[in-house]
Structure 1
Amino acid sequence: MAGPNELMAAIAEVGVDRRRGGYSRHVFDDAERQLREWFTEQAEARGLRVEADRNTNIWAWWGEPGDDAVVTGSHLDSVPGGGAFDGPLGVVSALSAVDLLRARDFQPRRPLAVVVFAEEEGGRFGVPCLGSRLLAGTIDRDRALALRDPDGVTLAEAVRSFGADPARLGCDEEALRRIGQFVELHVEQGRGLVDLDRPVAVASSILAHGRWRFRFHGQGNHAGATLIGDRRDPMLPASRLVLEARRVAAGTEGGRATVGRLVPNPGGTNVIPSTVDVWLDARSPEDRSTRAMVTELSALAREFAAAEGCDVAVTEESYGDTVHFDTAFRDQLSGLLDGAPALPTGAGHDAGVLAAEVPAAMLFVRNPTGISHAPEEHAEPDDCESGAQALARVLEHLAG
């Protein structure tokens, strides 16, 4: 029987990013493939039946697959240079929970499965929770297949090189129908549990959030030979947008707006760029205020572009409305876990995508740093054990 800390240690060298720090594990790259293989080996060693669905999500079944299943799991991919716990902690805790239940001679009366979703972070193709979105049918299949990674490889090409059939991607009604209840364990992405001095919480809601790309078009030219008055430099309106994003978010209750990626083309030190792509992540507690922030920033971007003789195109790449997890299900889990507190989260999750289709809930494990999506993300070994124990208790109750 292996605990979550032993399982985390087993994958600690996979996908280490020597340049950024932390981990870079993106769907279908070498690191993510190694983790898929590792999970498959671990699941089969526990006698679980492993299969991939049409969207390359991996399912490990305790007994025969069937409808009204209790499903748990998370993801194994990361953001560029991310922390060790975001995603993998939920997967290893699920495997550890299976070990704990087996040690108690537990036999599920309902089908029980551990799932690993593909491309939750959107680190390669830009759309978060892509595996669960495809499964639930909340993203168009053709649009998904046309997504490109930073090297220009389409999702269709990547799926094909992985050995799967891109024509099979899309809404998976059979897999969705099998999920009776879904519970995702995740490291907390914030300091709520630190302030409450509790190791485990349940989720109450997820902020409305999305990603938008602003492409500023100007005129590429020589940095030394082009007079300032003759320039149409798209970097200027792009830079102004970055600053305005902070101001607009600060003026919105609960608002967050972030530019974490900016790409000039062609990207030479002595070249005025011809285009600059800016990716905006915007979030707030409600759909209306999130949309309002983006509307205001889009108007400002057009104003800034015109002042520099440039154009701008704004594209919504992904969006998720506010998620309020089922209160009865949430309270049931809280009661099972000695009154675990309910906390909102500003981070998106596969559980949030599935919540519109099936009863879904989340467990959070304390993060003493409060930092996530960075190498400093952390969870103490005792808290990881508490999380696995809590998940086992929940699965035992739901499936037994």
Structure 2
Amino acid sequence: MNTEELLKDSKGVVADLRTLAAMTSTPAGAQRIAWTPVWDKAEQWFMDMMKAEGAEISVDSAHNVFAKIQGETDDAVLIGSHLDCVYDGGWLDGALGVVAGMGAIKRYGIHGKKPKKTLYVVSWADEEGARFGRSCIGSSAVSGALNVEEAAVLKDNDGISFTEALKRYNLNVADFPKAKEEFLKKGIKEYLELHIEQAPVLESQNRSVACVGGICGCERQYITFTGQRAHSGCPISMRHDAFLAAAQASLKFRDIGLAHTTADKFAYCTVGKVSVVPDVVTIFPGICKISLDQRHVDSSVLKTIYDEAHDACVKAASDNGVDVSFESVWSIPPTIFDPHLVKLCQDSVEEQTGERATLYSGPLHDAAEMAKFLPSVMMFVKSTKGLSHCKEEDTPDADLECGVSAFFRLVDKVVNA
């Protein structure tokens, strides 16, 4: 495999990423929110670029956009990620995977050698869920996991329903399940995805790229502590303070996460939302509601940290003389990627960098939906300071080029097998 050619092609991917960023960003960050005109512009750019490479374009019933290069056989490989982002997001999240796929199409399109297997690249619809709150809309429609009744009534911050927003695209969410039938006709046998890490692990290891062995499962819930509100002049030892109970539990969550973290597998416990009633300076709260998001790649460990968090809440409630209740919000099991593809991915990383590196993803990705019914694998490129979902999101060009080159090695292995 020609290393100079790989570097040249990877530099082209970085250049295309910068073009996309310039088209779809403001000084506040990327603005490619799904189901908005800026996202539409990005999707049209993807289609136009791929048509220029001789790719056949199709859009399924869930608004997933596919580009196809016919191979010597109908057995197909799919490269995928998403072009949508969060509000004021970063230039690489999601876009890296799609644009790297575009780079693969360029290598095998009208200017390249015909691949043994047919090659598809997909821009999945609404991975982030930034506008309507439900992640992986397009890929979950294909996997069959999307609940269309629940999706239909989702609303954005302006009160516009998902159903209403889809009218602009002449789409009906009730038709989204058809995307699975359409997908199965494509003959796709493997799924590959390149993404930034969105964490500082690779940077801390002084590595540019790694294979991803799997994606963490997640247990997400709301926890409500209920005590008795009263004046802030009441002695602390005599209070039934709902916030102090929540704070005690939250500090314990941190200890639980650290206690179950190993060298290569992290346990995540995150309190992201806190609300108190009343929200008044001179009153300690009678009600405190917090969110708890817990993740781990091992289902048994995920259950353990979930149970330990429950026990911590019960103890915190007792210690502070308040009640506690639990409301499950969302649950998804861990995803372990296909062993054969993981090995090929590890081989590709080693060929590019001289060492094997494997880690697990804390964030969710479309690959989790694909892995439900297809052999799948991901590859990560390092993130500067681990920052993502913000305008500061970045990766040095040299690391991007290294990661894309390693990914092209993986694509070549799978497409020409």
- TM range, smaller chain: 0.7 to 0.9
Correspondence for 1:343 among 351, 358, 361: 358
User: What does 1:178-257 correspond to in 2, within 5 Å?
Assistant: 178=186, 179-194=188-203, 197-214=206-223, 239-253=247-261, 254-257=266-269
Q: Is residue 20 of structure 2 the alignment partner of residue 11 of structure 1?
A: yes
User: What does 1:74-223 correspond to in 2, within 5 Å?
Assistant: 74-102=81-109, 105-170=112-177, 172-176=180-184, 178=186, 179-194=188-203, 197-214=206-223
Indicate if the aligned counterparts of 1:98 and 1:392 stay in contact, CA closer than 8 A.
no
Amino acid at match of 2:271: V
Q: Is residue 398 of structure 2 the alignment partner of residue 387 of structure 1?
A: no
What is the alpha-carbon distance in structure 2 between the residues aligned to residue 358 and residue 389 of structure 1?
24
What is the alpha-carbon distance in structure 2 between the residues aligned to residue 15 and residue 305 of structure 1?
48
Indicate if the aligned counterparts of 1:255 and 1:283 stay in contact, CA closer than 8 A.
yes
Amino acid at match of 1:365: V
Unaligned 5+ segments in structure 2 are 1-8
Q: Is residue 335 of structure 2 the alignment partner of residue 323 of structure 1?
A: yes
- CA 1:134 to 1:287, structure 2 compared with 1: closer, same or farther past 3 Å? same
Q: By how many angstroms is 1:60 displaced?
A: 1.4
What is the alpha-carbon distance in structure 1 between the residues aligned to residue 49 and residue 118 of structure 2?
19
Indicate if the aligned counterparts of 2:56 and 2:69 stay in contact, CA closer than 8 A.
yes
Indicate if the aligned counterparts of 1:209 and 1:284 stay in contact, CA closer than 8 A.
yes
Q: Aligned residue for 1:259?
A: 271
Deviations 1:157-213 (A, max 9, x none): 333344311111236133145321111011223345445555332222222224334
| Deviates further, 27-36 or 97-106 | 97-106
What is the alpha-carbon distance in structure 1 between the residues aligned to residue 400 and residue 68 of structure 2?
23
Note the aligned Cα RMSD (angstroms): 3.8
Deviations 1:94-126 (A, max 9, x none): 112222334863113322111011222333333
What is the count of residue pairs matched by the alignment?
A: 393
| Deviates further, 254-263 or 300-309 | 300-309
| Deviates further, 149-158 or 32-41 | 149-158
Secondary structure (helix, strand or coil) at the match of 1:6 reads helix
- CA 1:274 to 1:166, structure 2 compared with 1: closer, same or farther past 3 Å? farther
Indicate if the aligned counterparts of 2:297 and 2:335 stay in contact, CA closer than 8 A.
no
Higher-helix-fraction structure: 2
What is the alpha-carbon distance in structure 2 between the residues aligned to residue 282 and residue 266 of structure 1?
27
- CA 1:309 to 1:197, structure 2 compared with 1: closer, same or farther past 3 Å? closer
Q: By how many angstroms is 1:258 displaced?
A: 1.2
Q: By how many angstroms is 1:378 displaced?
A: 1.9
